[in-house]
Chains A and B, each alone.
Chain A
Amino acid sequence: MFVIELAGVRIGIDNRYPFIERQCRAFLCEGEAAAFTVRASSDDILEESNHGEFSDAYCESICLYRHICEKIADYNVFLMHASVIEVDGRAYAFCAKSGVGKSTHTRLWIKNIPHARVLNGDKPLLKLEDDGSVTAFGTPWNGKENWGENISARLAGICFLERGVKNAIRPADEEEIIPRLSHQLYLRGSRESVNRRLMMMDALVRAVPYYVLACTISDEAALLSYRTMSGAQE
């Protein structure tokens, strides 16, 4: 049992395997007080391992994050599947179907944009603030590349990536935001928690600008998305 802080919420982790504690090392905090505690039952772990060929320790970690996402909805926090990059205190999120090139585009930002660092490469948390803004938070669950830090930044925009033969970015139409976004939000769980997350999704739709980027693997692609997204709110 140990305590981590995610998106400003203290969470107790009642673990079976040491794997998760190592994974969470950058997020550990002192003391035993926690807003809630999560544990994965052997049934949870078994069900998870049926889907693939992963170790029980890894499956425990996945189950624990699911449970966290269910409970943390009470604190106006939810999971979005995205790569989030922080530049000078602002966070930029990239969403894409798997294999499209989220990691590649992230790598191009890090290479081309001064001060850019990966906040979380795969499963960041977003917090809906009282003023309607959204803050992105790093988490210990950060994808196979393991890119991420225990940092947070105000979300400045969300960009849906697509492969293209040339680079072009445009604002997303209101009609396409919801279907695109819904693929990237974790919406499973109890009715109460899912309802809370849908309300947060409704707020998220209005909270930040959205873009669609058709891109090639090139420095120009990263520079185009950075210039467009960073200029939008200035």
Chain B
Amino acid sequence: MQINKDFTIQKVGASYVAVPVGETSKTFHGMVRLNETGAFLWKQMAGKDCTEADLVDALLGEYDVAREIAERDVHRVVEQLKENGILV
């Protein structure tokens, strides 16, 4: 899976905001809010294909968390992005 490239992500205040750009902005209205972890995972999935397992490994390489917590966080973010049609 990969992030729809017609999105941009920026830090706004204390959280991260992803919004559609170009053609996608005509069909996707609104925005997605992500925390630090969500934004980190977003960047892993931007421009390259990866699996949930890849994301868990990337998260464990960056943060000091237990594997099951990383797996839960990755799954939660992936589901959120899938629901919004952002993962392709």
* A residues apposed to B, CB below 8 Å: 174-175, 177-179, 182, 187-191, 194-195, 198-199, 201-202, 205-206
Contacts and interface: CB of A to CB of B under 8 A. Distances in A.
Nearest to B13: A205
Given A194-B8, A195-B10, A198-B8, A178 B15 contact: yes
30 contacts: A174-B13, A174-B14, A175-B14, A178-B13, A178-B15, A178-B17, A179-B33, A182-B30, A187-B19, A187-B31, A188-B20, A188-B25, A189-B21, A189-B25, A190-B21, A191-B8, A191-B21, A191-B22, A194-B21, A194-B25, A195-B8, A195-B10, A198-B12, A198-B17, A198-B19, A201-B17, A202-B10, A202-B12, A202-B13, A206-B13
Interface of A is mostly: helix
B72 interface: no
Interface of B: 8, 10-15, 17, 19-22, 25-26, 30-31, 33
B31 A177 contact: no
B45 to A, nearest CB: 17
A175 B30 CA distance: 17
A187 B10 CA distance: 12
A202 B11 CA distance: 7
B46 to A, nearest CB: 13
Contacts of A182: 17, 30-31
Contacts of A198: 8, 10, 12, 17, 19
B69 to A, nearest CB: 22
Contacts of A199: 10
Contacts of B13: 174, 177-178, 202, 205-206
Contacts of A174: 13-14
Nearest to B31: A182
Sorted from nearest, which 6 A-B pairs have the closest CB atoms? A198-B10, A205-B13, A188-B25, A191-B21, A202-B12, A194-B21
